[in-house]
């Protein structure tokens, strides 16, 4: 059985090209989609990620601006900032980079973003629309799960009538991807750290989504031969013994580890990929889709606001 690698970078490129064409059409219609990003404090990983988002906006022709309040800012002051962005017509999407400082009320802040500008898809109204099965054109869905569905669709992997298992129940990935798969007529089981008989359940999956945040958690014994494996995890290995365990005799990984002191692995043991019919690699898989779907959501939000939907 031949195993397919689902190239997230290539699929993200397709989506970005489509978004760029939509931006041109929007400008011809008299407006430019706009995204505001709020980055609180000096978290290096968040700064890198936000810069990548802003850079991608520039490449695709989307207007963007970054707001960088100090880590000492209060919840009330942030709410004032969000209110001002809600009121500006040229801003179609508002993204609050997580995590926020511990003293900030994250839930209150996320819910302060008006649903029509919630390009992260975290607002309860958008979550409710997703769960209710509203038409795709009317839903701003979380970016990573939306990217997973694009990988499946663009790779011609059947979903309707298939058995899907999601490992992980977060509001960011696990719950929304379960809802999306249900909406696509899959039969879905959601597993988590307290699930009994998890390995047996996972072995029944035609589509297995791993989003639990544990390096190499899904082992070959948990995989049905021929299944599609979607690896959402991004975990960093800093122990040489673990690198050798998961990547035996892999010179490229070993050299990369010696150079950087770490290497990245997903939630699926790479040894399990050989059993699959198709899989997303880490890196180069689902992670590449997240920013592309953010751009797509920004253009969608701009259209929805101007069409009155």
Catalytic residue positions?
Answer: 53, 97, 120
Residue 52 among known ligand-binding residues = no
Residue 125 among known ligand-binding residues = no
Residue 169 among known ligand-binding residues = yes
Stated length of the chain: 309
Residue 91 among known ligand-binding residues = no
Contact 284, 9 (CB under 8 A): yes
**Known binding-site positions:** 168-170, 234
**Known binding-site positions for NADP(+):** 168-170, 234
């Amino acid at each position: 059985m031949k195993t397919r690698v689902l190239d997230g970078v290539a699929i993200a490129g397709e989506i970005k090209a489509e978004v760029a064409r939509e931006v041109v059409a929007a400008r011809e219609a008299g407006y430019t989609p706009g995204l505001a990003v709020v980055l609180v404090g000096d978290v290096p990983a968040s700064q890198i990620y936000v810069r990548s988002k802003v850079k991608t906006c520039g490449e695709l022709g989307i207007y963007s601006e970054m707001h960088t309040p100090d880590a000492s800012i209060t919840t009330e002051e942030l709410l004032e900032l969000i209110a001002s962005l809600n009121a500006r017509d040229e801003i179609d999407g508002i993204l609050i980079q997580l995590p926020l400082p511990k003293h900030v009320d994250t839930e209150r802040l996320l819910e302060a973003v008006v649903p029509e500008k919630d390009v992260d898809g975290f607002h309860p109204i958008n979550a409710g629309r997703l769960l209710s099965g509203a038409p795709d054109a009317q839903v701003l869905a979380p970016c990573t799960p939306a990217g997973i569905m694009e990988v499946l669709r663009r790779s011609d992997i059947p979903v309707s009538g298939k058995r899907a298992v999601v490992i992980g129940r977060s509001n960011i990935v696990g719950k929304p991807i379960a809802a999306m798969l249900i909406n696509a007529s899959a039969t879905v089981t959601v597993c988590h750290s307290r699930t009994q008989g998890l390995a047996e359940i996972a072995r029944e999956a035609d589509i297995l989504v791993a989003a639990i945040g544990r390096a190499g958690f899904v082992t070959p014994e948990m995989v049905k031969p021929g299944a599609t494996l979607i690896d959402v995890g991004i975990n960093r290995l800093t122990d040489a013994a673990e690198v050798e365990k998961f990547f035996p005799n892999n010179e490229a990984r070993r050299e990369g580890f010696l150079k950087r002191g770490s290497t990245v692995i997903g939630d699926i043991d790479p040894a399990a990929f050989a059993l699959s019919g198709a899989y997303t690699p880490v890196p180069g898989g689902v992670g590449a889709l997240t920013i592309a779907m953010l751009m797509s959501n920004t253009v969608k939000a701009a259209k929805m606001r101007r069409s009155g939907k």
